[in-house]
DNA sequence: CATATAATTCGACTATTCTAGAAATATGGA
DNA sequence: TCCATATTTCTAGAATAGTCGAATTATATG
């Protein structure tokens, strides 16, 4: 992963509304959620949310797919994983005990 | 972890200079790096870097400690781990195979 | 085809963030 | 004490991001 796209992804997530939307999608799994459903859950104006989903999509963190009148958004787990891996790349100068807290990440998810 | 502090951490990382600085510190491990050494490595003005290190510190992602005339900065692995865990919390609606890419994160680090 | 629903795009305004020069503070040594 | 080094703080201007109303596009249905 390149610096530029990592910054874009982080900037996309560094916003209350977008982070909330993204987490909803992460939790929703493969089924994803329609833009309107997200707007309702997060109590956001549809146009504002749309702009923000666009920013997440451009960063590669979510994908979208039209389904009838709705557009379904889904978290893009691959991109997510690359971003997290980039942040801890070559970490801790070879002293595993120092970065043990990072192990949480795996267990927080389904890897457990 | 709360939304507000997650956003602050992500915003702190969503900047070329700060992300580069943070990654240097992550890779430096427990020894950390002096502010001046970082400025030299990253070719940044010391005052600009100082401002940016302040932002990382306020977000809790790095710690600082004076040592003689220098100030040593270190990555704060705990905070880092909490942030990553927050991003994948309750992910993928119980379908581990969907979020398998996230397993990379652990192996990218010393957990391997 | 007319209408309703779902979502996006446009435009203008406000607010925030970024950078760099200059000045200030802290430490160590002659 | 005086000076050099290391870093931070202050300040102002430039650039960027965020929001919302209004208009637009796409799809489904009577």
Write out pLDDT tens, residues B23-40: 999 999 999 999 999 999
User: Nearest to residue A74, comparing CAs of A109, A27, A19?
Assistant: A27
Spacing of A94 CA from D22 C1' in Å? 57
pLDDT at B13 over 80: yes
Contact between chains at B87 and A11 (C-beta distance less than 8 A)? no
Instruction: Identify which has the larger pLDDT, A3 or A109.
Output: A3
CA distance B5 to A102: 18
Determine contact, residues A110/B36, Cβ cutoff 8 Å.
no
Chain A residues within an 8 Å CB radius of B31: 93
Q: What residues of chain B, 64 to 83, have a C-beta less than 8 Å from chain A?
A: 75, 77-78, 80-82
pLDDT above 90 covers what percent of chain B? 77
**Interface residues 46-75 of B with strand D (CB < 7 Å):** 46-47, 49-51, 53-54, 64, 69-71
Q: Categorize the per-residue pLDDT at A111 as very low, low, confident or very high, splitting at 50, 70 and 90.
A: low
**Contact status, residue A34 vs residue A70, Cβ threshold 8 Å:** yes
HSE-up of residue B41 (Cα within 13 Å, Cβ side)? 15
Mean pLDDT of chain B: 92
pLDDT tier at A112, thresholds 50, 70, 90: very low
pLDDT at B112 over 50: no
Domain-wise residue ranges, chain A:
3-108
* Integer Rg of chain B from CA: 16
Buried b (16+ CB within 10 A) or exposed e, A6-23: bbbbbbbbbbebbbbbbb
pLDDT at A99: 78
Q: Is the Cβ of A42 closer than 8 Å to some Cβ of chain B? A: no
| Strand D contact with A11 (CB < 7 A) | yes
Considering the four listed CATH numbers 3.40.50.720, 1.20.1250.20, 3.30.70.890, 1.10.10.10, the one that applies to the domain covering A3-108 is: 1.10.10.10
Tokens of A56: 């997440």
CB-based burial label for A44 (10 Å; 0-12, 13-18, 19+): middle
């Amino acid at each position: 992963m390149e610096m530029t796209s990592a910054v874009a992804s982080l900037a996309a997530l560094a916003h209350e509304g977008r982070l909330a939307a993204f987490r909803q999608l992460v939790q929703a799994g493969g089924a994803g959620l329609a833009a309107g459903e997200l707007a309702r859950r997060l109590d956001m104006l549809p146009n504002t949310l749309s702009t923000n989903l666009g920013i997440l999509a451009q960063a590669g963190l979510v994908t979208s797919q039209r389904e009838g009148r709705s557009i379904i958004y889904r978290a893009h787990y691959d991109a997510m994983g690359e971003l997290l891996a980039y942040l801890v790349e070559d970490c801790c100068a070879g002293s595993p005990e120092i970065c043990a807290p990072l192990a949480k990440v795996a267990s927080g998810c389904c890897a457990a």
